[in-house]
Amino acid sequence: MNQARFRHFGEARREEWALIDDRFRDYVADAPRRVLEHLDRLAGDTHGYPVDRHEHCLQTATRALRDGADEEMVVCALLHDIGDDLAPANHAEIAAAILEPFVDPLNAWMIRHHELFQGYHYRHFFGLDPHARERFRDHPAYARTVRFCDDWDQASFDPDYDTLPLEHFVPMVERVLGRAPYGGLPAILEETDSP
């Protein structure tokens, strides 16, 4: 059997769930490759910016790396705008959701809030409060989020910067997203009773 035959969950047998569980683990293990593949979708249209988002993500990660950030932070920098393609209205949520099972909760918080913090550099052009991030001043991730935005994210629109290629970051992404997710994955039992 290489595929379940049930028409609805009510008739699914344990062997079928065991098969699906097995396949799901392979699917999870392959997720870093799919994430990297999706990053490629950010290449091309600059949407008016000086560089496209693919270059921007690579440049943000390169600056973080050269500033001595740890591997997890570099991966966060590389993926922080990956949601732009699918969710331009709330892109930070996508990156935060991808990273959250594998990184320090403070780094997930940083990515989730980076748009507001980044706004310090442009919100005044839109009649919005550039200091809106100050309401999080007492949050334990405040300082790292400020650093992330001020030193790396907002600075990474330079078409002449010596940006490292994606290949340089692939092993880092594989290591960080290849970690066991917090909370683990449910594992199928040897024997199960009916609910």
Residue 53 one-letter amino acid: R
Which of 84, 44, 77, 88 lies closest to 154 in space, CA to CA? Answer: 77
> Among residues 16 and 72, whose Cβ is nearest to Fe ion?
72
Closer to Fe ion by CB, 11 or 40: give it: 40
Name the one residue in this structure whose structure tokens are 């099972």. 101
Site for Fe ion in 47-66 (CB under 5 A): none
84 binds Fe ion (CB under 5 A): no
Q: How far is CA 16 from the centre of its chain?
A: 32
Helices (H), the chain: 14-29, 31-39, 53-66, 71-79, 91-99, 105-112, 114-118, 142-147, 166-177
Q: In the bound complex, what is the minimum distance in angstroms from residue 56's beta carbon to Fe ion?
A: 6
Minimum CB distance to Fe ion, residue 10 (Å): 46
User: What gap in Å lies between CA 6 and CA 109, rounded to an integer?
Assistant: 40
**153 touches Fe ion by CB under 5 A:** yes
Selected binder of Fe ion within 81, 109, 117, 142 (CB under 5 A): 81
Only one of the segments 29-37, 77-85, 86-94, 175-183 lies at the binding site for Fe ion (rule: CB under 5 A); that segment is 77-85
At its nearest, how many Å lie between Fe ion and the CB of residue 81?
Answer: 4
Backbone angles phi, psi at 139, to 5 degrees: -75, 140
Query: Where along the sequence are the contacts to Fe ion (CB under 5 A)?
Result: 81, 153
